[in-house]
Structure 1
Amino acid sequence: MKDFGLTYRPTKNPAPAVAQDRRYGITDMDSAARYGYRMPPQQSVPEARLTEDQIKVLYGKTSPTEDSTKSAGLQYQGKEIPDHGCLGSAILSFRKPYEDKAGAEVASRISTESFENSQKTPQVRAVFDKWSSCMKKEGYDYASPMAALATPSFRQGKLSAKEKKTAVADVSCKERTGLLDVWFDAESSIQKEMIKADAQALNKLGELHWKKLSAARKILADA
């Protein structure tokens, strides 16, 4: 932005909310009682007060005020603006040295296949049956936690008392049957075997992640 003769100071974002891992469905009783199957509301980020010139240079063709289909490059005071603007250009130039498409694909495949395969193991199928029986005693008929999570009325529309009660029963039955520990152990076992088979690719990806994190910390420290 300085190169274009413009000032820019990003807004101070609030501390991020604690992430909820929903790999095995909802697991937090307080959240279930308050929000059902919905994600807790996120704290809003204050909007930066920017001039039209700042917006144009910061976002380039990704700016809502620009036509991204135009082939001609954008300019500001005779100087060409990167297609993705200063912000997009900074992100892309920072990310590029640490990209490892092959490693990322391996990690993604392991994540997807281990999750799918874990649900086919005898121990997970057995604990799903226990969870389902527990839910039936509470008045709900679901074959698995994923089926409850996928209920259309629990994903859209107004949050209902029924959804909250179902979510509370869901978490309670998970706790009573030990479902989370059983499922986690089964998937971890599968993942460990898959990781062994692709250790070289994953080690490279891990090293790049640490280098990227170190570079990000340096940027923040210098700032």
Structure 2
Amino acid sequence: MPVPVLPLDSYGVSAEQQAVLDRAVDKLAGTCMKAKGYTWPARLERLGEARSANERRYGVTDPEAVRVYGYQLAPPPGVTPGQLAEEARLEKKRKTLMTDEVTEAYTGRAGTTKGTSRTGGCRGEALKQLGLPPQGDALDAVDLAQQQGWQRTEADSRAKAANARWSACMKKAGHPYANPHAAAGDPAWWTKGAGDMAARNKTKAREIATAVADVECKQQVDYVAVWQSVETTYQNKIITANEKELGEVRQMWRDALRKAALVLR
């Protein structure tokens, strides 16, 4: 099933564009760190294609993926389990290089504290050079619009009716959940290391059966189409009412991408 596309998507950045910004931040912050006498361990090269933020906006939808992974995130196409294991090993090694002293220089705060940063460290300086707000700042107009649109969608009678139809379908299949997010968020799927191998295998089998039924029920009740239609309507209304503020955020991202392209030349 295609990844949903919504009106507010055009006011932010795609996963690929975010990757470009990340590379520019890394380069700028790396220069700053070097000037301070530190080296920030470079992030690993991403495996496969970047994932859209909307991929699971309405829960799992890929009938093939859920038969293998249940509610767990499937690896990108073409990426093997061995590559994922190697990536995890390298990332663990990378984190051992992030000492408190190095982390404080990079972020502006000690690595294990919750204190706020006055400068944002080298990362904050890099973001500033791209015209982007420091990480952790207040939500911008697009973030707030996304939240508002989602809240209105959840409260809409059409979306509630789709939840009810999906829930009835799931109950008939032996999986009583009120909505897709309740099914995906069942703690049983996310508890690691509990019980013996037989118990874990039984839980995994139940997770896969639930996820398969989840996708099938979504298809039967046209769940994604209903929710996408309702949310699209609300997002368009929000865009009309907040055109100036949203346009300013979109321009910020465009300017940042232009600057990032120059940094990465």
Q: Name the TM tier (shorter chain).
A: 0.7 to 0.9
Corresponding residue number in structure 2 for 1:94: 129
Corresponding residue number in structure 2 for 1:161: 205
| Matches for 1:179-190 after TM superposition, within 5 Å | 179-190=223-234
| Matches for 1:1-150 after TM superposition, within 5 Å | 3=35, 10=42, 13-19=45-51, 21-40=55-74, 43=84, 44=87, 46=90, 59-61=103-105, 86=122, 88=123, 90-95=125-130, 97-99=131-133, 104-150=139-185
The sequence identity of aligned pairs, in percent, is 28
C-alpha distance in 1, partners of 2:75/2:43?
20
Residues 148 and 94 of structure 1: CA distance in aligned 2, closer, same or farther (over 3 Å): same
Corresponding residue number in structure 2 for 1:76: none
Residues 184 and 151 of structure 1: CA distance in aligned 2, closer, same or farther (over 3 Å): same
Structure 2: segments with no counterpart, 5+ residues: 1-32, 77-83, 114-118, 193-199
2:140·2:249 contact (CA, 8 Å) conserved in 1?
Answer: no
**1:205 corresponds to which of 246, 249, 257:** 249
- Could you say which structure has the larger radius of gyration? 1
Aligned-pair distance for 1:58?
A: 5.8
Residues 134 and 220 of structure 1: CA distance in aligned 2, closer, same or farther (over 3 Å): same
1:131·1:177 contact (CA, 8 Å) conserved in 2?
Answer: yes
Residues 199 and 57 of structure 1: CA distance in aligned 2, closer, same or farther (over 3 Å): same
C-alpha distance in 2, partners of 1:166/1:134?
12
C-alpha distance in 1, partners of 2:101/2:209?
50
C-alpha distance in 1, partners of 2:38/2:187?
48
C-alpha distance in 2, partners of 1:57/1:2?
14
SS at match of 2:71: coil
1:98·1:212 contact (CA, 8 Å) conserved in 2?
Answer: yes
Residues 6 and 118 of structure 1: CA distance in aligned 2, closer, same or farther (over 3 Å): closer
Aligned-pair distance for 1:183?
A: 0.4
C-alpha distance in 1, partners of 2:148/2:37?
50
C-alpha distance in 2, partners of 1:7/1:151?
41
**TM-score, with normalisation over the residues of structure 2?**
0.62
C-alpha distance in 2, partners of 1:207/1:57?
36
**TM-score, with normalisation over the residues of structure 1?**
0.72
Residues 93 and 133 of structure 1: CA distance in aligned 2, closer, same or farther (over 3 Å): same
C-alpha distance in 2, partners of 1:2/1:135?
56
Residues 129 and 17 of structure 1: CA distance in aligned 2, closer, same or farther (over 3 Å): same
C-alpha distance in 1, partners of 2:67/2:244?
44
SS at match of 1:119: helix
C-alpha distance in 2, partners of 1:123/1:202?
27
Equivalenced residue count is: 202
CA deviation map 1:101-154 (0-9, x unaligned): 78x432222211221221222221222222122212211111211221221112
Once the two structures are overlaid, the 10-residue window that deviates more, 178-187 or 1-10, is: 1-10
C-alpha distance in 1, partners of 2:120/2:157?
50
Letter in 1 for 2:233: S
| Shift >6 Å, 4+ stretches | 5-9, 54-57, 66-69
Letter in 1 for 2:65: S
